[in-house]
Structure 1
Amino acid sequence: MWILTRAREFDSDDDDGGQASVELLAVLPVFGLIAALAFQALLAGTSWWLASVAAREGARAAALGQDPVAAARAAVPGALRPSRSGVSVSSSRDATVTVRLAIPSLLGGARLGSAVGRAHMEPQR
């Protein structure tokens, strides 16, 4: 007998009529925005990491007496340097190299700033 009373509880006249579906549709854009912001933060972090890697490569080349600018530019992946304007490399006589990369944006043309990496190595004799 308890099975019939439980069945009547589930078959009530209070029909939600798909309210859960509507609530899910209302929350989906929020989840999308959170995912986009997380991916943008990942792009910014990767840019800073790659700038420091390129600066270390340039400093290593300068310490060995090679061209630090060419070495630093070669260390930057092609996706982050579609044009030479996205990468800026400077070096000094004491084998200190600074690399500045433009942070890519999910929105295409938006400018988010730049990531800077700096490295120094003692010249090898």
Structure 2
Amino acid sequence: MPSEPLDRGQASVELVALLPLLVLLLLGLVQAVLAGHAAWSATTAARAGARAAAVGRDPAVAVRRSAPVGGAAARVVREGDTVRVRLPVPSVLPLSLGTVQGSAHLESQR
């Protein structure tokens, strides 16, 4: 009579051992996408702020309206015709990952 193999159920044990690594990998991927989106948002908001500054409007108001991520927490710095925007990076974990910066430069139209 043939005996049963000793490695029965081994695939299930390996999957359970690998699952935390897969979850961490997925969280890292989601975090990278969120950071990229925040960087894109900062650049887009900086462009809106530079356009507003070029026509004589308040760039901070334009930045807060146009930033899809973290607009309320945006830090706006205007240096002549250049507008720099810092936005917080959203996190899937309960920790702060800092900020990203975008800048734009437009000549004044006044």
Q: TM-score, normalised by structure 1?
A: 0.79
Q: How much has 1:12 moved relative to structure 2?
A: 5.4
**Is residue 65 from structure 1 mapped to residue 67 from structure 2 by the alignment?**
no
Counterpart of 2:76 (choices 78, 89, 96) is 89
Counterpart of 1:102 (choices 88, 102, 110) is 88
3-state secondary structure, aligned to 2:87: strand
Question: Which 5+ residue runs of structure 2 have no aligned equivalent?
Answer: none
How far apart are the structure 2 equivalents of 1:46 and 1:30? 24
Counterpart of 2:66 (choices 75, 82, 87) is 75
Number of matched pairs = 110
Match of 1:116 in 2: 101
The answer on whether the counterparts of 1:54 and 1:71 sit within 8 Å (CA) in structure 2 is yes
3-state secondary structure, aligned to 1:97: strand
The answer on whether the counterparts of 1:73 and 1:89 sit within 8 Å (CA) in structure 2 is no
Question: Which 5+ residue runs of structure 1 have no aligned equivalent?
Answer: 1-7
Q: How much has 1:64 moved relative to structure 2?
A: 1.3
Letter in 1 for 2:27: A
How far apart are the structure 1 equivalents of 2:4 and 2:60? 75
Indicate the percent of aligned positions where both proteins have the same amino acid.
Answer: 47
How far apart are the structure 2 equivalents of 1:32 and 1:118? 35
The answer on whether the counterparts of 2:63 and 2:74 sit within 8 Å (CA) in structure 1 is no
Counterpart of 1:49 (choices 40, 55, 58) is 40
Q: How much has 1:13 moved relative to structure 2?
A: 3.0
Q: What root-mean-square deviation, in Å, do the aligned CA atoms of Structure 1 and Structure 2 show?
A: 1.8
Stretches of 4+ moved more than 2 A in 1?
none
- The residue correspondences of 1:4-43 to structure 2 (distance < 5 A) are 13-43=4-34
Q: TM-score, normalised by structure 2?
A: 0.89
